[in-house]
Structure 1
Amino acid sequence: MATIELKGVGKRFAHVDVIKDVSLSIADGEFCVLVGPSGSGKSTLLRTIAGLEEATSGQLFIGGRDVTREPPKSRDIAMVFQSYALYPQMTVRENMGFGLKLMKRPAEEIRRRVDEVARMLSLEPLMERRPAALSGGQRQRVAMGRAMVREPAAFLFDEPLSNLDAALRSAVRQEIRALHARLRTTSVYVTHDQVEAMTMGDTIVVLRDGRVEQSGSPTELYDRPANRFVAGFIGSPAMNFCALPGELGTALDVTRLQLGVRPEHLQLGHVPDAAVAFDCRVESIEFMGAQSQLNLQSAAGPLVVNVPDRPALSSGSTVSVSALRRHLHFFDAQSGLRQEAV
């Protein structure tokens, strides 16, 4: 296990800066998730940590050792790819042990470590099969097993679940977290799925245009987003943004702020002690089982509201929604930075 530290790391392709002055510390045993929209630089940053891309500027340390100019094989990391990258002509056993074979480890050690990891991942019945005979979830477990047998200082995951269906993604996600709880190996995990990030990460790093917008625990990013971008990216459905209602703006004595409130924090009707209320028209209702999503139109703009069960409403109905002061977020209308309204 090892710490991972980036100091002012940048990466340029031709004349384009893809990673811009990223400084980041990942603690020993931490599960860190890099998240952001397509083109934010998250996979490039992971590949730079792995040594598959060389940093244009800055320094990178793994376990306190400067590995900025070291090749991947010298960094003591193992990477799990989106595409699995299994050798089709090899059996599961041969795939899992191939890295150790290249390292010229004794055959008995390879067998022991492969068998141990196979038990952890429930792969024993599959050991003599080839990748073509495996399901997507089984291939992903083999790819993880191949990384695990090396007992690296750190695991790097590059969107490993994106090729799986929703139900399987959820199951494998739980397996990865359970394995991390058991092994406590430092892990860096890339995803574009903010729900995946929220449910897996000890720490989440939100990237945009090659820069870190905010890093912290899932609850920190959810409760106190640093800016409007993070507020809109973390949470599903996304946070509502609108102009301050006149009475609230007057009470706060501000005009430069924009209001943010999450769909799950808006309630139907006028809640006692509510800080803000909107009169709305129901545009549509999406039933999702245990809850429903209301798509509303108000004088302040469109609003999304999550409510339990099935409200007695229909398209065209009028309804009031309100929120308590502790659930309100305020952002500078120009810079987008979080503001503490008083």
Structure 2
Amino acid sequence: MNKRSLVSAARWSCVGIAALLLSGCNLELMSPMGDIGAQEKSLILIATGLMLLVVVPVIAMTLIFAWRYRASNTKAKYAPKWSHSTAIEAVIWIVPCIIIAILGTITWRTTHALDPYKPLAHEAKPLTIQAVSMDWKWVFIYPEYGVASVNELALPTNVPVHFEITSDSVMNAFFIPQLGSQIYAMAGMETQLHLIANQPGTYAGLSSNYSGAGFSDMHFTAIATSQQGFQDWINKAKASQLSLDDQTYHALAQPSEKAPVTYYTNVKPGLFNAIIGQYMGDMKMDKIGDAPAQASAIPSPNDHAKAAE
């Protein structure tokens, strides 16, 4: 390869890298609107930067060595019996070990700090939202208000949101990229997630785990608004003519694609626990069609301890 060809290749490589970087400017994951999302963005950038400390020099040296030791360069030093360099060995072992140690420390700390089950430290009272994945739509239940919605989620800004998540079908994954923290939803199980939206806006939510034919259209809208705007949304849901009772829920649970946004009022008490309970076999849990249980359907660690005694 002559000098002109190498310069041309380098120029086009720079153009390609610049285009790749610019194409990611509008990535939702890189434009967080909540505290959890911001911390995860910081983690991604730090980890990427540390790894590039190895990747970039290796790529640069590969190009430099290929140019310097090309066949036509008669001035390059030829050392066929060279076999060892203590300095090089030290660099290629010590530098990666330091980077791995730093990454390990950061990962350990953020794994605990960003635990999805860990409540957010905030002066405002958390809002509980129960999310149920179906084929192929999302149902959001607001137990404190007795309303529910399909494929639309509303939450007040600067208020911690405690999500209780399950599936009424195959395993799925709940994800709002700009708020952070993807987490899986599984039938017969409840998982939790704590998020907060610091700025008002409309954010895209999705299923990030393939779950069948309608998976590509399994999106929902997350609306972060003021406290008054949130109350207006609740009032709109309460004004719905549809009640979410057993019969309505069974119809809603049937597979459907591109389900429109729908609001429900008079949500059956204990519905979320009943959705989980229908997959629990002979265990004593409330199920669809049964009267709601008085206690939580999910046993606590203290319950297991008492059972062991």
Query: Normalising by the residue count of structure 1, what TM-score does the alignment of the two structures yield?
Result: 0.21
> TM-score by structure 2 length?
0.23
User: Larger strand proportion, structure 1 or 2?
Assistant: 1
